[in-house]
């Protein structure tokens, strides 16, 4: 199982990730970008059993990735916060 932490690279995103990992320590693949690089879910190649944590990203810019049937059909779980 791979854990993906998808977050905006600004202060809010970094703080959200820090709080998550202080509460639930885990090794994860970090998926982030600079302030204007926000279409982040498109970069995740999830497989069955993977976990995707989405923190402080634009729903408008990531809607297609969030609703991506490939992620859901492969059995990955997504947690948005």
pLDDT in tens, the chain (81 residues): 899 999 988 899 999 999 999 999 999 999 998 777 777 888 888 888 888 888 887 777 777 766 664 555 566 666 665
Contact 45, 33 (CB under 8 A): no
Report field, pTM of the whole predicted structure over 0.85:
no
Q: What total number of domains does the chain contain? A: 1
CA distance 31 to 55: 10
CA distance 50 to 68: 15
Question: 47: Cβ–Cβ under 8 A, 6 or more apart, which residues?
Answer: 2, 74, 75, 76
What is the span of the domain harbouring residue 41? 3-80
């Amino acid at each position: 199982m791979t854990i993906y932490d998808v977050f905006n690279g600004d202060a809010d995103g970094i703080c959200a990730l820090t709080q998550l990992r202080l509460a639930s320590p885990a090794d994860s693949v970090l998926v982030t970008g600079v302030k204007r690089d926000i279409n982040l879910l498109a970069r995740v190649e999830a497989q069955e059993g993977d976990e995707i944590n989405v923190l402080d990203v634009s729903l408008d810019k990531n809607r297609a990735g969030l609703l991506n049937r490939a992620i859901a059909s492969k059995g990955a779980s997504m947690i948005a916060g």
